[in-house]
Structure 1
Amino acid sequence: MQALPLAIMAFLLYLGAASWQGLTLLRRVPQRPALVRALGVLGLLFHLPAALQLIDQSPGQMPGLSTSAAVLTAIMIVLLLGVSLAKPVLNVAVALFPISGLALLLAVGLPSPERTGGMTPGIALHAMSSALAFGVLFIAACQAGLLGLQNQALRHHHTRGMVQVLPPLTTMERVLFELIWAGMVLLTLSIISGFLFLDNMFAQHLAHKTFLSLAAWLIFAILLVSHHVLGWRGMRAVRWTLGGCAVLLLAYFGSKFVLEVVLNHA
């Protein structure tokens, strides 16, 4: 089956799941976590074959910007669906599912032009740990966004609507820091494996990715230490989480965007 019909089906299923969860937050429909997960899983069943087709277009070669985004969002959805079985994070689907569907459609419509060498086992470890780290920390950023909205609503004494559907504030904060801890472990593994298995982490085409990844690691490390020692929480934790994820986003996709879009057009 062609990648485009698969991508369209995945997008529609993701959109349906995100719409239901969004209406749940607005208290327009009852909570149906099993329905949202089922639609998400069905979306993955179309997403993964489409992503594999994109990778197969350049066998033995590293994917470029659009294909990387399609693969990474699939990994994030797998992580979200898995974590949601144990932690109350399914509300993140409101943002993650549509973003994933759009990323897949973009990848199918605009296949990546990048052509680089294949992966050794060490580089594969680096790539996988990097993808998992970004996936977990992106989910943490979405969780932080919901926590910020909840914090603001409670601060202004708005106790109706979304606030009544979300878990208690303390639970939201605990889950946020659990996600950040997990993401930090994976990000640390990614950075260490990069230094071990890549030829030169400070080469011209990797330098800014290395510096930004280290900067993101430092931001999250400061947040975790300050939370433990100084009791940082609430909106301060939200801002630092979103800031760290923004830096990590630049680290992961900035170089590919510059190389494939800016320099290519230039």
Structure 2
Amino acid sequence: MHPLLPSLAAAGLYAGATLYQGLRFGRRQAPDKRLLGLLGALALLAHAFSLHFQLLPGSGLSLDFFNAASLIASAVIALTLLSLTRLPAENLLLLLFPLGALTVLLAQFVPAGTSTPIVEQPGILAHILLSILAYGLLTIAMFQALLLSLQDHQLKHKHPSGLIRNFPPLQTMESLLFGFLWGGWLLLSLSLLSGWLFVEDLLAQHLAHKTLLSCLAWLVFAVLLWGRHQLGWRGHKAIRWTLAGFCLLMLAYFGSKLVREFILHI
């Protein structure tokens, strides 16, 4: 199979699912959850084939900037599709499907940076996997926080759009947000712990900023979860803390990776 085909198929299926969901919301109708899940699963399958060609071109794991973004986007979409079996999280897909289409195309068409293929022991690979899953869940939490902010704003101004009318109640949206935050924070904790156990020098030259920013993000999310449990934090305060923690986490991973691969070329 030519590596271009699954990338184009994934992008096309993501775009089709987004169009279907957008049209249903425009008519103030809830999308068919099974059809949406089927389109998402097919797009994710094509995305997985695309990642196979991009991540494993030869010896080692090619995890450059755009490949990493595509991998994390696929993990985010997979986690959201799995959550649909128990949670009303389909509104998130209206944001996540376009993200999947964008990242799979960028990974296919944008030249890779100077990243060296990763050939490591199982402990390091487990650390990488935990990191990706943590980023995935916390990315879902970030999108959930944005949707919650939009819903809260429109309800307060009494101008709910067709999109907002199909959202679950505000309390359910907040519960979803903190469920994703708890899962992401626990995975981030395991990621940092595995890094401490398996990475030989966690504060090496190219890891110092990433480690520091990841620890700060972990602390921000920990304070938010404590504030929710002890002080009942919710609404705008919870949204602001979520976005602050996410920004730190994205700077930790993508910021350092962007600088190393495309600016410093190391």
In structure 1, what residue type is equivalent to 2:244? Answer: G
In structure 1, what residue type is equivalent to 2:37? Answer: R
- Superposed displacement of residue 25, structure 1: 3.4
Quick one: structure 1 residues 199 and 116, their matched pair in 2 at CA, closer, same or farther if it must change by over 3 Å?
A: farther
Q: Distance in 2 between matches of 1:184 and 1:228?
A: 14
Q: Distance in 1 between matches of 2:164 and 2:91?
A: 12
CA contact (8 A) 2:202 2:211 kept: yes
Task: Give secondary structure in 1 for the equivalent of 2:265.
Answer: helix
Q: Structure 1: which 5+ runs fail to align? A: none
Write the deviation string for residues 85-130 of structure 1: whole angstroms up to 9, x where unpaired.
1111111111111111111111111243411441211111111110
In structure 1, what residue type is equivalent to 2:59? Answer: P
- Superposed displacement of residue 28, structure 1: 4.7
Write the deviation string for residues 128-161 of structure 1: whole angstroms up to 9, x where unpaired.
1100000011011111111000100111122452
Q: Distance in 1 between matches of 2:50 and 2:165?
A: 38
CA contact (8 A) 1:4 1:108 kept: yes
In structure 1, what residue type is equivalent to 2:10? Answer: A
TM-score by length of 1: 0.94
Q: What are the residue-to-residue correspondences of 1:13-92 with 2, within 5 Å?
A: 13-92=13-92
Percent identity reads: 43
Q: Distance in 1 between matches of 2:198 and 2:106?
A: 31
Q: 1:155: which partner in 2? A: 156
1:253 pairs with 2:254: yes
Write the deviation string for residues 217-241 of structure 1: whole angstroms up to 9, x where unpaired.
1111111111111111011111111
CA contact (8 A) 2:11 2:102 kept: yes
CA contact (8 A) 2:28 2:162 kept: no
Q: 1:11: which partner in 2? A: 11
Q: Structure 2: which 5+ runs fail to align? A: none
C-alpha RMSD of matched pairs (Å): 1.6
Q: Distance in 1 between matches of 2:98 and 2:161?
A: 26
Quick one: structure 1 residues 62 and 53, their matched pair in 2 at CA, closer, same or farther if it must change by over 3 Å?
A: closer
CA contact (8 A) 1:4 1:105 kept: no
Q: Distance in 2 between matches of 1:226 and 1:136?
A: 20
Q: Distance in 2 between matches of 1:158 and 1:106?
A: 37
Task: Give secondary structure in 2 for the equivalent of 1:187.
Answer: helix
Task: Give secondary structure in 2 for the equivalent of 1:199.
Answer: coil
Q: Distance in 1 between matches of 2:5 and 2:117?
A: 28
